[in-house]
Structure 1
Amino acid sequence: MKKFDIRNIRVRQLSVDEIDDRMLLVNLYVTQAITIIIGLIWVLFQRSNPFLLLQFPNSLTFLWWGLGLAAAVIVVDLLISRWVPEEAADDGGINERIFQNRPVWHIAVISFVVAVCEEVLFRGAVQHSFGPYWTSIIFAAIHVRYLKHWIPTGLVFSISYGLGWIYIESGTLWAPILAHFLVDLIMGLIIRFRREQTEQ
């Protein structure tokens, strides 16, 4: 019987083009499952109640916070994509691969899953420990595909700080969840329908 030798394991970086669509989706959903599990465990270690964290607020004012931040982010992102060269905002093609061939319902599902999982971890748990500034640095750092260029890195940091700010101001996690969901949904739909237009 052949002995297993850990020194024979080789790790290499894959480009997004080398991953098939099924594996890309598996990676996305597994990553989000790990994210929310870490977030919920962290919340429990803080002696907080995850059910209270996700309790729907009595007032609908959180809608204005979420809608307002999402609108601001989308306007800034559209201005950047209009005036900044594409290579300066390149994420390695991951967003295009995730969204370009998806039906609208699946783009909405992905956007919702990512919004809930990431906001539970970053706003619900990490921000409680480190505050919005350091949380935003961590948030930008884990979006590693943007780190090659300072414009998307700065944008991700700013969005994260904005999400942390509206969480504090609104007093509910549903404000940053809504904003995060709308930004991902609208940008995903733009990628999806831009592809259709270029194919015509």
Structure 2
Amino acid sequence: MKKFNFRNIRVRKVTVDELDDRMLLINLYMTQSLIFIIGFVWVLFQRQNVNKLFSFPKTLDFLYFGAGLALIVIILDLLISKFVPDEAMDDGGVNDRMFGNRPVWHIIVISFIVAVCEELLFRGAIQYAIGPYWTSIVFAVIHIRYLKHWIPTAIVFLSSYGLGLIYEHTGSIWAPIVAHFLIDLVMGLIIRFRRKS
């Protein structure tokens, strides 16, 4: 049996244009799986009750706060996009590639998976440990494709901080999940149909 030599592994930086659609989706789903696993394990190490964390609230406050924050973030993003040059909002083409030709049902699925996985890690685990401000800094850094431009980085930070605040206010992780889902869904649909037209 031939031995596997780890020294033969070569790592190089790949741009989004070099990935085909299949590899882009594999990358997305693998990344989200990793985020979910890290978040789940971190929550367990913090001795939090996962069932309690994901228990569905008895009132609809979480829905109002989630939808309200999503509306604010979407309007803010659209207003900024209207007055700021495209170069200042550039994410390297990732969002266009991710949502541009995707069927609507798949945009819904992607938005839901990303919302649940990222909110478990960032609000459920990290915010529990270090609070909403520092969690938002980590959240902005993780969204590395925006770091070349300060305006999208600021939007990501402020969105994350808002997600943290509604999580603390409602006491339910479903509030930031709803907001995150709606933000990604609406922005994904805008990209999808703007590109189509």
What is the TM-score normalised by the length of structure 2? 0.96
Aligned to 1:110: 110
Residues 116 and 3 of structure 1: is their aligned pair in 2 closer, same or farther, counting only changes over 3 Å? closer
- Give the percent of matched residue pairs that are identical in Structure 1 and Structure 2: 68
Distance 1:3 1:51 in 2: 44
Distance 2:99 2:44 in 1: 34
**Matches for 1:186-197 after TM superposition, within 5 Å:** 186-197=186-197
Secondary structure class of the residue paired with 1:22:
helix
Q: How far apart are 1:10 and its partner, in Å?
A: 3.0
Aligned to 2:89: 89
Aligned to 2:52: 52
Matched letter for residue 162 of structure 2: G
- The gaps in structure 1 that reach 5 residues or longer are none
Distance 1:73 1:176 in 2: 12
Aligned to 1:27: 27
Distance 1:96 1:168 in 2: 33
Matched letter for residue 34 of structure 1: L
Matched letter for residue 168 of structure 1: E
Aligned to 1:72: 72
Distance 2:43 2:122 in 1: 10
Aligned to 1:172: 172
Matched letter for residue 152 of structure 1: P
Matched letter for residue 130 of structure 2: F
Distance 1:4 1:57 in 2: 51
**RMSD (Å) for aligned C-alpha atoms:** 1.3
Residues matched between the structures, number: 197
**Matches for 1:113-128 after TM superposition, within 5 Å:** 113-128=113-128
Distance 1:35 1:2 in 2: 34
Distance 1:110 1:92 in 2: 19
After the TM superposition, list the runs of 4 or more consecutive aligned residues in structure 1 that deviate by more than 4 angstroms: 1-8
Aligned to 1:13: 13
Matched letter for residue 113 of structure 2: V
Distance 1:35 1:3 in 2: 31
What is the TM-score normalised by the length of structure 1? 0.95
Aligned to 1:98: 98
Distance 1:32 1:3 in 2: 32
Secondary structure class of the residue paired with 1:177:
helix
Distance 2:106 2:95 in 1: 14
1:149 correspondence with 2:149:
yes
Q: How far apart are 1:6 and its partner, in Å?
A: 4.5
Aligned to 1:139: 139
Matched letter for residue 139 of structure 2: F
Q: How far apart are 1:127 and its partner, in Å?
A: 0.1
Matched letter for residue 180 of structure 1: H
